[in-house]
C-alpha cells in the first residue's frame, strides 16, 4: 500500500487529454512538500517529468503539466501520442516517515 | 552528460549479502545527495535509502533499516548499497538516483538503468 494514491490505470485516444491524480495527506503533500512526477518504462531508467509541482525540466514536452492543491496533485498530458504509453509515478516527502515516498504508479494506455 | 551506472546485482541465496555500486560521471558528485530506489516485480517504485552529498547524513526506509547500509566514496564518484540478510522480498531492480541538491533535496533528476537482484535458493 503506497503512501501516495494513484489510479492503477488511465487511457485515452491519440490527441486527447488525460489527467493522473495523486492523493496524499497532511504528512506529505498537505504539509507543503513539493510533488514530482516521473515517466518509467520498466527495464529503463525513470525520467523526471515534472518537479516542484509544476515545473518541466529542459527537454520535456510542454504537453506535460503538473498542479498541486491541498493534499493532492495532478499530472495532465495533452495531445496524447503513442509514445506517451508508459507508467507514471508521483513522488513527495513525508515528515512522519522521515523519507521520500512514491505513488503506486499509473499505467497510461494510448488507445 | 550525467551518467549513472549500477552494478553488483545477481542471484543470491536467502540470508546472503550483496554490495551494489553506482559509478557516476558528468557532474560534481560531492555536491549532490544520492539515493537507491527499487522496483520489485510487478510493483511500483519504492525509495530505499539516501545519503547527503558529504556522506555525513543517511536516511533509510523502514524496510531497509538494520539490513541496508548506504555509503559513498566522493573520491571515486561512486555510491554503494550493502544489503545483508537478503530475503525474497528484496528481489527487485535497484536504481541509483541523483538528488537535485546536496542536502534538503526534493527530487531525483537523473537515474541509472538499474541492476537486478534476485533472491532465491
B7-38 pLDDT per residue, tens: 999 999 999 999 999 999 999 999 999 999 99
State whether B106 and A34 contact (CB < 8 Å).
Answer: yes
- Residues of A in CB contact (< 8 Å) with B are 2, 33-34, 36, 38, 40, 42-48, 51-52, 57, 87, 89, 91, 93, 97-105
Question: Is residue B105's pLDDT more than 90?
Answer: no
List the beta bridge partners of residue B7: B21
CB atoms within 10 A of CB A79: 12
Q: Which residues of B touch A46 (CB under 8 A)?
A: 37, 45, 95, 97, 108, 111
Sheet with A18-23: list strands edge to edge.
Answer: A18-23, A72-77, A64-69
A33-50 pLDDT per residue, tens: 999 999 999 889 999 999
Separation of alpha carbons B42 and B61, rounded Å:
20
All cell numbers assigned to A94: 513525508
B116 at A interface, C-beta within 8 A: no
Q: State the alpha helices, DSSP H only, in B15-58.
A: none
All cell numbers assigned to B84: 545483508
Give residue A22's Cα distance to chain centre.
7
CB contact at 8 A, B34 and B79: yes
Range of weakest confidence among A40-44, A107-111, B46-50: A40-44
Q: Which residues of A touch B39 (CB under 8 A)?
A: 42
Amino acid at each position: 500500500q503506497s503512501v501516495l494514491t494513484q489510479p492503477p490505470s488511465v487511457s485515452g485516444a491519440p490527441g486527447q487529454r488525460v489527467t493522473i491524480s495523486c492523493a496524499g495527506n497532511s504528512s506529505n503533500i498537505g504539509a507543503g512538500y513539493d510533488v514530482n512526477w516521473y515517466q518509467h518504462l520498466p527495464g529503463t531508467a525513470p525520467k523526471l517529468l515534472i518537479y516542484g509541482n509544476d515545473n518541466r525540466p529542459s527537454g520535456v514536452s510542454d504537453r506535460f503539466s503538473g498542479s498541486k492543491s491541498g493534499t493532492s496533485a495532478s499530472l495532465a498530458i495533452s495531445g496524447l501520442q503513442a509514445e506517451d504509453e508508459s507508467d507514471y509515478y508521483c513522488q513527495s516527502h513525508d515528515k512522519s516517515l522521515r523519507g521520500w515516498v512514491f505513488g503506486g504508479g499509473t499505467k497510461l494506455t494510448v488507445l | 552528460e550525467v551518467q549513472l551506472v549500477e552494478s553488483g546485482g545477481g542471484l543470491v541465496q536467502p540470508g546472503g549479502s550483496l554490495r551494489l555500486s553506482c559509478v557516476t560521471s558528468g557532474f560534481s558528485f560531492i555536491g549532490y545527495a544520492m539515493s537507491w530506489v527499487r522496483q520489485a516485480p510487478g510493483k511500483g517504485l519504492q525509495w530505499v535509502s539516501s545519503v547527503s552529498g558529504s556522506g555525513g547524513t543517511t536516511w533509510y526506509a523502514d524496510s531497509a533499516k538494520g539490513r541496508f547500509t548506504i555509503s559513498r566514496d566522493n573520491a571515486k564518484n561512486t555510491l554503494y548499497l550493502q544489503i545483508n540478510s537478503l530475503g525474497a522480498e528484496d528481489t527487485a531492480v535497484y536504481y541509483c538516483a541523483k538528488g537535485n541538491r546536496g542536502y534538503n533535496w526534493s527530487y531525483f533528476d537523473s537515474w541509472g538503468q538499474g541492476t537486478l537482484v534476485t533472491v532465491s535458493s
